[in-house]
Structure 1
Amino acid sequence: MIDGVMVKQLKVLPDERGRLMEILREDDEIYMRFGQVYLTTGYPGVVKAWHYHKIQFDHFCVVKGMMKVVLYDSREGSPTKGEVNEFFLGEHRPIVLRIPPLVYHGFKTISGEEAFLINVSTQTYKYDAPDEFRVPPHDNDIPYDWARKDG
Protein backbone atom coordinates (compact mmCIF):
# COMPACT_ATOMS: atom_id res chain seq x y z
CA MET A 1 0.00 0.00 0.00
CA ILE A 2 1.15 3.52 -0.73
CA ASP A 3 2.98 5.12 2.22
CA GLY A 4 0.58 7.21 4.33
CA VAL A 5 -2.61 5.64 2.97
CA MET A 6 -4.93 4.15 5.59
CA VAL A 7 -8.14 2.13 5.40
CA LYS A 8 -10.80 1.94 8.08
CA GLN A 9 -13.33 -0.89 7.78
CA LEU A 10 -16.80 0.41 8.66
CA LYS A 11 -19.58 -1.42 10.49
CA VAL A 12 -23.15 -1.20 9.25
CA LEU A 13 -25.64 -1.71 12.07
CA PRO A 14 -29.06 -2.68 10.67
CA ASP A 15 -32.31 -3.07 12.56
CA GLU A 16 -36.01 -2.97 11.69
CA ARG A 17 -35.91 0.83 11.39
CA GLY A 18 -33.01 1.06 8.92
CA ARG A 19 -29.22 1.23 9.16
CA LEU A 20 -26.56 3.22 10.98
CA MET A 21 -22.93 3.53 9.89
CA GLU A 22 -20.38 5.71 11.67
CA ILE A 23 -17.92 7.10 9.12
CA LEU A 24 -15.28 9.08 11.00
CA ARG A 25 -14.80 9.82 14.69
CA GLU A 26 -12.26 12.09 16.35
CA ASP A 27 -11.01 9.12 18.41
CA ASP A 28 -10.29 7.01 15.27
CA GLU A 29 -6.65 6.21 14.49
CA ILE A 30 -7.33 7.40 10.92
CA TYR A 31 -8.69 10.81 12.00
CA MET A 32 -6.39 13.85 11.84
CA ARG A 33 -8.36 17.11 11.91
CA PHE A 34 -11.53 18.58 10.48
CA GLY A 35 -11.51 20.96 7.54
CA GLN A 36 -14.81 20.38 5.79
CA VAL A 37 -17.22 17.70 4.60
CA TYR A 38 -18.54 17.58 1.08
CA LEU A 39 -20.45 15.25 -1.22
CA THR A 40 -19.49 14.53 -4.83
CA THR A 41 -21.15 12.07 -7.17
CA GLY A 42 -20.26 10.16 -10.29
CA TYR A 43 -22.48 8.83 -13.03
CA PRO A 44 -22.00 5.22 -14.20
CA GLY A 45 -18.74 4.71 -16.09
CA VAL A 46 -17.52 8.29 -15.57
CA VAL A 47 -13.91 8.89 -14.52
CA LYS A 48 -13.09 11.90 -12.33
CA ALA A 49 -9.29 12.09 -12.18
CA TRP A 50 -6.43 12.96 -11.59
CA HIS A 51 -5.67 15.49 -8.89
CA TYR A 52 -3.64 15.90 -5.72
CA HIS A 53 -3.27 18.33 -2.83
CA LYS A 54 -0.08 19.78 -1.37
CA ILE A 55 -1.42 20.14 2.20
CA GLN A 56 -4.78 18.41 2.48
CA PHE A 57 -5.52 14.82 3.47
CA ASP A 58 -8.78 13.37 2.10
CA HIS A 59 -10.97 10.76 3.77
CA PHE A 60 -13.22 9.14 1.13
CA CYS A 61 -16.36 7.13 1.94
CA VAL A 62 -18.80 5.99 -0.77
CA VAL A 63 -22.27 5.74 0.76
CA LYS A 64 -24.35 4.89 -2.33
CA GLY A 65 -23.32 2.83 -5.33
CA MET A 66 -19.78 1.61 -5.96
CA MET A 67 -16.62 3.40 -7.05
CA LYS A 68 -13.12 2.32 -7.96
CA VAL A 69 -10.71 4.79 -6.34
CA VAL A 70 -7.17 4.75 -7.70
CA LEU A 71 -4.08 6.29 -6.11
CA TYR A 72 -0.67 6.96 -7.65
CA ASP A 73 2.42 7.88 -5.63
CA SER A 74 4.73 10.22 -7.57
CA ARG A 75 6.36 11.71 -4.45
CA GLU A 76 10.11 12.13 -4.62
CA GLY A 77 11.76 10.26 -1.76
CA SER A 78 8.66 8.17 -0.97
CA PRO A 79 9.38 4.48 -0.24
CA THR A 80 6.36 3.65 -2.45
CA LYS A 81 7.16 6.04 -5.33
CA GLY A 82 5.66 4.72 -8.57
CA GLU A 83 3.06 2.50 -6.85
CA VAL A 84 -0.56 2.39 -7.98
CA ASN A 85 -3.30 1.24 -5.58
CA GLU A 86 -6.91 0.36 -6.48
CA PHE A 87 -9.65 0.38 -3.88
CA PHE A 88 -13.31 -0.54 -4.32
CA LEU A 89 -15.54 1.54 -2.06
CA GLY A 90 -19.29 1.60 -1.59
CA GLU A 91 -22.34 -0.27 -0.50
CA HIS A 92 -20.61 -3.65 -0.90
CA ARG A 93 -17.38 -2.49 0.76
CA PRO A 94 -17.99 0.17 3.42
CA ILE A 95 -14.61 1.72 4.22
CA VAL A 96 -12.97 5.08 4.76
CA LEU A 97 -9.87 5.62 2.64
CA ARG A 98 -7.31 8.19 3.82
CA ILE A 99 -5.33 9.80 0.99
CA PRO A 100 -2.20 11.77 1.94
CA PRO A 101 -0.99 14.98 0.28
CA LEU A 102 0.90 14.76 -3.03
CA VAL A 103 -0.69 11.39 -3.91
CA TYR A 104 -2.64 11.56 -7.16
CA HIS A 105 -6.18 10.22 -6.87
CA GLY A 106 -9.32 9.78 -8.89
CA PHE A 107 -12.36 7.58 -9.18
CA LYS A 108 -14.64 5.80 -11.61
CA THR A 109 -18.23 4.87 -10.84
CA ILE A 110 -18.55 1.14 -11.42
CA SER A 111 -22.16 0.66 -10.28
CA GLY A 112 -25.12 0.88 -12.62
CA GLU A 113 -26.42 3.95 -10.82
CA GLU A 114 -24.98 7.28 -9.68
CA ALA A 115 -22.56 6.81 -6.78
CA PHE A 116 -22.25 9.22 -3.83
CA LEU A 117 -18.87 9.91 -2.22
CA ILE A 118 -18.49 11.81 1.05
CA ASN A 119 -15.09 13.39 1.69
CA VAL A 120 -13.92 14.65 5.07
CA SER A 121 -10.91 16.78 4.24
CA THR A 122 -8.40 18.21 6.69
CA GLN A 123 -8.53 21.68 5.10
CA THR A 124 -11.30 24.01 4.01
CA TYR A 125 -11.48 24.77 0.31
CA LYS A 126 -9.95 28.16 -0.43
CA TYR A 127 -11.75 29.59 -3.45
CA ASP A 128 -9.05 32.21 -4.10
CA ALA A 129 -6.13 29.74 -3.75
CA PRO A 130 -7.30 26.11 -4.01
CA ASP A 131 -4.97 23.35 -2.79
CA GLU A 132 -5.86 21.30 -5.86
CA PHE A 133 -3.64 20.38 -8.79
CA ARG A 134 -4.93 18.44 -11.81
CA VAL A 135 -3.79 16.39 -14.78
CA PRO A 136 -6.10 14.87 -17.47
CA PRO A 137 -7.66 11.46 -16.72
CA HIS A 138 -6.26 9.57 -19.71
CA ASP A 139 -3.42 11.55 -21.35
CA ASN A 140 -0.68 11.78 -18.68
CA ASP A 141 2.39 10.05 -17.23
CA ILE A 142 0.44 8.02 -14.64
CA PRO A 143 0.81 4.29 -15.38
CA TYR A 144 -2.88 3.42 -15.12
CA ASP A 145 -5.63 2.49 -17.57
CA TRP A 146 -9.20 3.23 -16.42
CA ALA A 147 -10.69 0.52 -18.72
CA ARG A 148 -12.56 -2.33 -17.06
CA LYS A 149 -10.39 -5.39 -16.49
CA ASP A 150 -12.38 -8.47 -17.52
CA GLY A 151 -11.03 -11.93 -16.97
Structure 2
Amino acid sequence: MIDGVNTKNLKFLPDERGRLMEIMRNDEKIFDNFGQVYLTTNNPGVVKAWHYHKIQTDFVCCVKGQIKVVLYDTRENSDTYREVNEFHIGDFNPMLIAIPPGVYHGWKCISNDEALIISIPTEPYNYEKPDEYRLPPDAPDIPYKWIMDSGKIHG
Protein backbone atom coordinates (compact mmCIF):
# COMPACT_ATOMS: atom_id res chain seq x y z
CA MET A 1 0.00 0.00 0.00
CA ILE A 2 1.20 3.54 -0.71
CA ASP A 3 3.11 5.01 2.22
CA GLY A 4 0.81 7.18 4.35
CA VAL A 5 -2.41 5.75 2.94
CA ASN A 6 -4.60 4.23 5.63
CA THR A 7 -7.88 2.38 5.42
CA LYS A 8 -10.54 1.51 7.93
CA ASN A 9 -13.11 -1.16 7.25
CA LEU A 10 -16.53 0.12 8.22
CA LYS A 11 -19.59 -1.76 9.39
CA PHE A 12 -23.28 -1.09 9.63
CA LEU A 13 -25.09 -1.37 12.93
CA PRO A 14 -28.66 -2.31 11.96
CA ASP A 15 -31.81 -2.31 14.04
CA GLU A 16 -35.55 -2.17 13.35
CA ARG A 17 -35.33 1.56 12.53
CA GLY A 18 -32.59 1.28 9.89
CA ARG A 19 -28.83 1.27 10.17
CA LEU A 20 -25.97 3.41 11.44
CA MET A 21 -22.36 3.48 10.28
CA GLU A 22 -19.62 5.38 12.10
CA ILE A 23 -17.21 6.72 9.50
CA MET A 24 -14.52 8.45 11.57
CA ARG A 25 -13.96 9.38 15.20
CA ASN A 26 -11.39 11.78 16.63
CA ASP A 27 -10.19 9.12 19.09
CA GLU A 28 -9.04 6.69 16.35
CA LYS A 29 -5.52 6.28 14.97
CA ILE A 30 -6.71 7.08 11.43
CA PHE A 31 -7.98 10.54 12.50
CA ASP A 32 -5.68 13.43 11.62
CA ASN A 33 -7.46 16.78 11.72
CA PHE A 34 -10.84 18.23 10.80
CA GLY A 35 -11.35 20.84 8.10
CA GLN A 36 -14.85 20.26 6.73
CA VAL A 37 -17.26 17.55 5.59
CA TYR A 38 -18.94 17.51 2.21
CA LEU A 39 -20.99 15.22 0.00
CA THR A 40 -20.18 14.72 -3.67
CA THR A 41 -21.98 12.48 -6.12
CA ASN A 42 -20.77 10.48 -9.10
CA ASN A 43 -22.90 9.34 -12.01
CA PRO A 44 -22.51 5.76 -13.29
CA GLY A 45 -19.43 5.22 -15.42
CA VAL A 46 -18.07 8.73 -14.82
CA VAL A 47 -14.47 9.27 -13.73
CA LYS A 48 -13.47 12.10 -11.42
CA ALA A 49 -9.66 12.25 -11.67
CA TRP A 50 -6.85 13.28 -11.13
CA HIS A 51 -5.96 15.68 -8.31
CA TYR A 52 -3.71 15.93 -5.28
CA HIS A 53 -3.11 18.30 -2.38
CA LYS A 54 0.09 19.75 -0.97
CA ILE A 55 -1.30 20.38 2.54
CA GLN A 56 -4.44 18.42 3.30
CA THR A 57 -5.18 14.76 3.79
CA ASP A 58 -8.43 13.58 2.18
CA PHE A 59 -10.65 11.03 3.90
CA VAL A 60 -13.05 9.40 1.42
CA CYS A 61 -16.03 7.11 2.06
CA CYS A 62 -18.68 5.94 -0.41
CA VAL A 63 -22.00 5.65 1.46
CA LYS A 64 -24.24 4.67 -1.48
CA GLY A 65 -23.31 2.86 -4.66
CA GLN A 66 -19.84 1.62 -5.53
CA ILE A 67 -16.72 3.45 -6.65
CA LYS A 68 -13.27 2.37 -7.74
CA VAL A 69 -10.72 4.63 -6.03
CA VAL A 70 -7.27 4.83 -7.59
CA LEU A 71 -4.20 6.41 -5.96
CA TYR A 72 -0.82 7.26 -7.48
CA ASP A 73 2.18 8.26 -5.37
CA THR A 74 4.19 11.12 -6.92
CA ARG A 75 6.27 11.90 -3.81
CA GLU A 76 9.88 11.35 -4.86
CA ASN A 77 11.04 10.83 -1.26
CA SER A 78 8.41 8.16 -0.61
CA ASP A 79 9.26 4.46 -0.33
CA THR A 80 6.23 3.84 -2.56
CA TYR A 81 7.09 6.45 -5.22
CA ARG A 82 5.20 5.70 -8.46
CA GLU A 83 3.07 2.99 -6.82
CA VAL A 84 -0.59 2.65 -7.85
CA ASN A 85 -3.31 1.43 -5.44
CA GLU A 86 -6.87 0.52 -6.38
CA PHE A 87 -9.78 0.10 -3.95
CA HIS A 88 -13.40 -0.87 -4.59
CA ILE A 89 -15.54 0.71 -1.88
CA GLY A 90 -19.21 1.34 -1.21
CA ASP A 91 -22.32 -0.71 -0.54
CA PHE A 92 -20.53 -4.07 -0.66
CA ASN A 93 -17.25 -2.96 0.91
CA PRO A 94 -17.76 -0.01 3.28
CA MET A 95 -14.37 1.58 3.87
CA LEU A 96 -12.75 4.89 4.78
CA ILE A 97 -9.57 5.77 2.87
CA ALA A 98 -7.07 8.36 4.15
CA ILE A 99 -5.14 9.88 1.23
CA PRO A 100 -2.04 11.87 2.25
CA PRO A 101 -0.72 15.03 0.56
CA GLY A 102 1.21 14.41 -2.65
CA VAL A 103 -0.81 11.36 -3.71
CA TYR A 104 -2.91 11.79 -6.85
CA HIS A 105 -6.36 10.31 -6.53
CA GLY A 106 -9.59 9.87 -8.39
CA TRP A 107 -12.52 7.53 -8.68
CA LYS A 108 -15.02 6.04 -11.06
CA CYS A 109 -18.62 5.15 -10.25
CA ILE A 110 -18.92 1.42 -10.94
CA SER A 111 -22.50 0.97 -9.73
CA ASN A 112 -25.62 1.18 -11.89
CA ASP A 113 -26.91 4.16 -9.91
CA GLU A 114 -25.36 7.40 -8.70
CA ALA A 115 -22.74 6.99 -5.97
CA LEU A 116 -22.73 9.22 -2.89
CA ILE A 117 -19.30 10.02 -1.47
CA ILE A 118 -18.53 11.69 1.85
CA SER A 119 -15.25 13.60 1.85
CA ILE A 120 -13.63 14.81 5.06
CA PRO A 121 -10.50 16.84 4.28
CA THR A 122 -8.22 17.96 7.10
CA GLU A 123 -8.40 21.58 5.90
CA PRO A 124 -11.36 23.76 4.93
CA TYR A 125 -11.54 24.64 1.25
CA ASN A 126 -9.71 27.89 0.52
CA TYR A 127 -11.69 29.61 -2.23
CA GLU A 128 -8.96 32.17 -2.93
CA LYS A 129 -6.02 29.75 -2.97
CA PRO A 130 -7.26 26.16 -3.34
CA ASP A 131 -4.90 23.37 -2.27
CA GLU A 132 -5.84 21.40 -5.36
CA TYR A 133 -3.64 20.44 -8.30
CA ARG A 134 -5.32 18.71 -11.23
CA LEU A 135 -4.50 16.56 -14.23
CA PRO A 136 -6.98 15.17 -16.76
CA PRO A 137 -8.13 11.53 -16.42
CA ASP A 138 -5.93 10.50 -19.37
CA ALA A 139 -2.77 12.23 -18.10
CA PRO A 140 0.26 10.44 -19.63
CA ASP A 141 2.28 11.01 -16.42
CA ILE A 142 0.06 8.60 -14.45
CA PRO A 143 0.35 4.90 -15.36
CA TYR A 144 -3.34 4.13 -15.09
CA LYS A 145 -6.06 4.06 -17.74
CA TRP A 146 -9.70 4.88 -16.99
CA ILE A 147 -11.10 2.88 -19.91
CA MET A 148 -14.87 2.58 -20.01
CA ASP A 149 -16.98 -0.16 -21.65
CA SER A 150 -17.33 2.11 -24.68
CA GLY A 151 -13.56 2.46 -24.84
CA LYS A 152 -13.83 6.16 -24.03
CA ILE A 153 -12.35 7.99 -21.10
CA HIS A 154 -14.75 10.25 -19.20
CA GLY A 155 -13.45 13.03 -17.00
Same fold (TM over 0.5): yes
TM-score interval, normalised by the smaller of the two chains: over 0.9
Output the CA distance in 2 between the equivalents of 1:48 and 1:42. 8
- Output the CA distance in 1 between the equivalents of 2:54 and 2:20: 34
**Please, what TM-score do these two structures have when normalized by structure 1?**
0.96
1:121-140 correspondence to structure 2 within 5 Å: 121-140=121-140
More strand by share: 1
- Structure 1 runs (4+) deviating above 2 angstroms are none
Q: Which residue of structure 2 aligns with residue 75 of structure 1?
A: 75
Aligned to 1:127, the other structure's residue is in SS state coil
Tell me the distance in 2 between the aligned counterparts of 1:140 and 1:133: 16
Counterpart CA distance in 1 for 2:81 and 2:119 is 24
> Aligned-pair distance for 1:16?
1.3
Distance 1:70 1:81 in 2: 15
Aligned residues: 149
> What do residues 67-107 of structure 1 show as CA deviations (whole Å, max 9, x unaligned)?
00000001111100010000011011111000000100000
* Distance (Å, rounded) in 2 between the aligned partners of 1:121 and 1:49: 17
Aligned letter for 1:20?
Answer: L
Structure 2: distance between partners of 1:122 and 1:129: 16
Alignment RMSD (CA, Å): 1.1
What is aligned with 1:105? 105
- Amino acid paired to 1:82: R
| Distance apart, 1:62 and its partner CA | 0.3
TM-score for both structures, normalised by structure 2? 0.94
Q: Alpha-carbon deviation of 1:139?
A: 3.2
Q: Deviations over 1:108-147 (max 9, x none)?
A: 0000000000011100000000000000101331000112
Partner Cα separation in structure 2 for residue 44 and residue 8 of structure 1: 25
Identity of aligned residues (%): 62
Q: What's the CA shift string for 1:42-64, capped at 9, x where partnerless?
A: 10000000000000000000000
Equivalent position SS for 1:121: coil
Q: Paired residue for 1:15?
A: 15
After superposing the two structures, state which structure 1 stretch, 124-133 or 9-18, moved more. 9-18
